[in-house]
Amino acid sequence: MTTVADRFGTRVPGPWLCSVVALTVLSASYLGVLYRAVDIDGDPGLFFLVVGGAVVVGILLGRFVGPSVAYPCVGVLVAGGIVLYTSTIPEGYSLVVSVDALWMDLVALLTGLSIIRIINAGVWATAVAPIPAFLTAYFTARRQYGRATLVGCVALGFLILTGDVDTTIGLIGVLGATAAAGFGDLARRGSDLSSADTLVIVLAVIVVLTTSVSVVPGGESSPVLGGTGDEGPQTLEGGLTRAESQLSIRGSTSLSPTVRFTIESERRAYWRVAAYDRYTGSGWIRTADDRSYDASLPKPPGETETVRQQVRARAPVSVMPAAWKPISVENRSPRVTEFGGLQPTGQLEAGDSYTVTSAVSRADPAALRNASAEYPDRVRSRYTQLPDSTPDRVRAYTSNVTANANNSYDTARVVEHHLQENWNYSLQVQRPDEQVADSFLFEMDRGYCTYFATTMVTMLRTQGIPARLAVGYAPGERVDANQWVVRGLDSHAWVEVYFPDHGWMQFDPTPADPREQTEQGALDSARSDGDDDVDTNQTEPTPTPSPTDEGTDENASANESPTQTPANQSDGEGANDRNRPGPADGSDLGTTGGSDPTDEGLPLPTPEQTTFGTIVLLGVAATIRRSGAKERAYRAVWLRRQPRTDPKRDVERAFDRLEYLLERHHRPRRSGETRMQYVRDVGEADERRVAEIYERAVYAGDPSHVLADEAIGIVNKRVKKYTVV
């Protein structure tokens, strides 16, 4: 049996190297997740320094010292991490309280709190990362691959529990762990790589099962590599469905044109549900805690106008939209987020209603232009955060666009206008993997509200202007002087910009007309399909659905001025009070829009797909090797096709073919049995003739072409006879 080493002719690196590579992959999987947190909110340089230092020290200690120093080192790392983290916790907790808080954090993390939602996520990651990195390096250097793998598994498992590891990363990590343990075992037994084919098959099976089988029906368990674009019947729905599951929208804000709320309000407004502060490059996180509502909410600074809204749910929902900014709620006792979002403590049933009072800012552009640029530290650090990996060209581009604006308000207006004018509205986009804002600016020419809003927030933050993403519902269809019907497809995402002394002002960079048209299209088609949920009594479509159009048009134009956008107040709840905003709701859904078949050409496989594909191919190859299929295929060709060389070799090969045939139909030739004896025993006259020719050719030194032809001719006939089915 030839080994891999034989086949390549040279020495192949042993299993220990493969194990080290696999451990590196495993470590990279969880360090990558931690790095993401650092990238979003932290100091990547420090992170790399700490992790790299831990790895180097681990290797050195493992090679040259030993456990007597290494284990105390772990203690030092833990202590150092705690000190580093607690020292940066704001509001100066005392150490004791902080230790307590650490435990609370730990429990919260283990029960699904994403690490990105930790207040100092970057510092936390920097404090944690060196410990597993050190231990892995240490055990690897001591050739204790099993322990090194265990450390990696614990680290990866922790991050899986926090929900930060997506299926792809998790799969890569698990593959790394499996390979590390397997190859480590091979290395310990001193085997060579030729015995690794079982391991390779196992890895391939892991990939195949993970990517093709969903044990948990529906929901998150969609296969990693399965086509995302070819799922839903409509392209739009495909993206939305996925978005929904990711947001775990509680039945309220699917794309459907179903009516969600009817809102009675003195003013039209954007019905805000929630806001997000932390941009991850590919999505949004809300880091704020929520708390119980206690009688009233703080009123925003500046001149405001009170707007009462009465909101009646028309379908089961678990959000409480309200015009910005709600200051009191009646009939309900919601949870309140730090960003002024409302969230019902339970689900709202159809017919439930609440009343919310909002204080809508009346600040005019002039006042906002004159607003101070002195932002409080907390506001600045929180709302100008950008991932460290955000390309600089975003900043440069924004500076260029806003060169003529000399205050925050004008900058925001310019950016808003720039996006509205230069990008098209479309629900069908190919979602970029990372750096949504950058991709949208430089690679895409279309998108929907979440793209526009995300990009605008990113651009403003590059200019040092505090901004955040808000989600909720567009005003909807106006059915009466002060009554609006809000459907699922009205869900929307926009931008809030902070102005000292005025609070958060709303901007909407999404081109209004195309959005309205798209929504109206969806509504019309739903109506023509006979859906009965899409209308209330008041909105029964007339032959010409003009009122709706007008209503939405008004909405669109109303967006032009931020002072108008802040709208009436009634009750509201956070629609998407979720860690990841993604597609806020409804019609133009969030950042995670599905990949739709609008792109041209064949999509290039991602690195993950390439890796997984390679592993699967290797597994198939290993299976083939174990099953001997390759040999069989080779045999089949070998048996039927005999290239001619010199007579002696021709005769030899002819006899080999004959022998193969006879072996299959009689018995193998025993060792010590001459060819002639064998053929005499099992063969027929023709075959004995071949053996005679063989002996003449090989032992008499008398190979002639005539004899070779004769032998090959006989064997060819036998092959045909034996192999005809």
Q: Which residues bind other proteins (CB under 8 A)?
A: 670-677, 695-696, 698-702
- The residue (of 700 and 725) whose beta carbon lies closer to other proteins is 700
Q: State the minimum distance, in angstroms, from the CB of residue 675 to other proteins.
A: 7
| Amino acid symbol at 655 | F
Q: State the minimum distance, in angstroms, from the CB of residue 673 to other proteins.
A: 7
Tokens 């020419």 found at: 445
- The residue (of 321 and 703) whose beta carbon lies closer to other proteins is 703
Q: State the minimum distance, in angstroms, from the CB of residue 679 to other proteins.
A: 12
Radius of gyration of the chain from its Cα atoms, rounded to whole angstroms: 35
Separation between Cα atoms, residue 614 and residue 202, nearest integer Å: 14
Torsion sign (Cα): 42, 282, 347, 262: positive
Do 462 and 394 form a contact (C-beta atoms < 8 A)?
Answer: yes
Separation between Cα atoms, residue 487 and residue 260, nearest integer Å: 5
- Number of Cβ within 10 Å of residue 276's Cβ equals 30
- The residue (of 417 and 669) whose beta carbon lies closer to other proteins is 669
Separation between Cα atoms, residue 643 and residue 125, nearest integer Å: 65
Q: State the minimum distance, in angstroms, from the CB of residue 699 to other proteins.
A: 5
The helix/strand/coil state of 582 is coil
- The residue (of 498 and 694) whose beta carbon lies closer to other proteins is 694
Separation between Cα atoms, residue 636 and residue 630, nearest integer Å: 10
- Using alpha carbons, list the distances in angstroms from residue 631 to 96, 204, 233, 634, 661: 69, 22, 45, 5, 15
Closest CA to 496 of 265, 270, 327: 270
Separation between Cα atoms, residue 697 and residue 502, nearest integer Å: 104
Q: State the minimum distance, in angstroms, from the CB of residue 15 to other proteins.
A: 34
- The residue (of 299 and 648) whose beta carbon lies closer to other proteins is 648
Separation between Cα atoms, residue 181 and residue 151, nearest integer Å: 12
Q: State the minimum distance, in angstroms, from the CB of residue 689 to other proteins.
A: 15
Alpha helices in 463-545 (DSSP H): 512-528
- The residue (of 684 and 702) whose beta carbon lies closer to other proteins is 702
Copy the structure tokens of residue 294.
Answer: 């206690």
Which residues fall within 8 angstroms of residue 525, CB to CB, at 6 or more apart? none
- The residue (of 139 and 655) whose beta carbon lies closer to other proteins is 655
- The residue (of 364 and 681) whose beta carbon lies closer to other proteins is 681
Strands of 503-507's sheet, edge to edge? Answer: 322-323, 271-276, 467-473, 491-499, 503-507
**Enclosing H/E stretch for 260:** strand 259-265
- The residue (of 215 and 700) whose beta carbon lies closer to other proteins is 700
In three state form, how does the secondary structure of 289-302 look? CEEECCCCCCCCCC
- The residue (of 215 and 706) whose beta carbon lies closer to other proteins is 706
Separation between Cα atoms, residue 131 and residue 81, nearest integer Å: 9
- The residue (of 35 and 678) whose beta carbon lies closer to other proteins is 678
- The residue (of 625 and 675) whose beta carbon lies closer to other proteins is 675
- The residue (of 386 and 658) whose beta carbon lies closer to other proteins is 658
- The residue (of 202 and 676) whose beta carbon lies closer to other proteins is 676
Q: State the minimum distance, in angstroms, from the CB of residue 680 to other proteins.
A: 10
Separation between Cα atoms, residue 49 and residue 260, nearest integer Å: 51
- The residue (of 369 and 669) whose beta carbon lies closer to other proteins is 669
Do 289 and 338 form a contact (C-beta atoms < 8 A)?
Answer: yes
Q: State the minimum distance, in angstroms, from the CB of residue 7 to other proteins.
A: 24
Do 505 and 470 form a contact (C-beta atoms < 8 A)?
Answer: no
DSSP letter, residue 707: H
Residue 667 φ then ψ, to 5°: -150, 160
Q: State the minimum distance, in angstroms, from the CB of residue 672 to other proteins.
A: 4
Do 438 and 391 form a contact (C-beta atoms < 8 A)?
Answer: yes
Q: State the minimum distance, in angstroms, from the CB of residue 659 to other proteins.
A: 12
How far is residue 660 CA from its own chain's centroid? 55
Q: State the minimum distance, in angstroms, from the CB of residue 628 to other proteins.
A: 22
- The residue (of 522 and 708) whose beta carbon lies closer to other proteins is 708
DSSP letter, residue 431: P
Q: State the minimum distance, in angstroms, from the CB of residue 648 to other proteins.
A: 10
- Number of Cβ within 10 Å of residue 590's Cβ equals 32
Do 575 and 272 form a contact (C-beta atoms < 8 A)?
Answer: no
Q: State the minimum distance, in angstroms, from the CB of residue 670 to other proteins.
A: 7
Do 12 and 95 form a contact (C-beta atoms < 8 A)?
Answer: no
Q: State the minimum distance, in angstroms, from the CB of residue 2 to other proteins.
A: 19
Q: State the minimum distance, in angstroms, from the CB of residue 695 to other proteins.
A: 5
Torsion sign (Cα): 3, 7, 12, 16: negative
| Amino acid symbol at 355 | T
Separation between Cα atoms, residue 573 and residue 271, nearest integer Å: 9
Copy the structure tokens of residue 157.
Answer: 């498992």
Copy the structure tokens of residue 631.
Answer: 């040999």
Cα-based angle 80, 81, 85 (whole degrees, multiple of 5): 120
Q: State the minimum distance, in angstroms, from the CB of residue 681 to other proteins.
A: 13
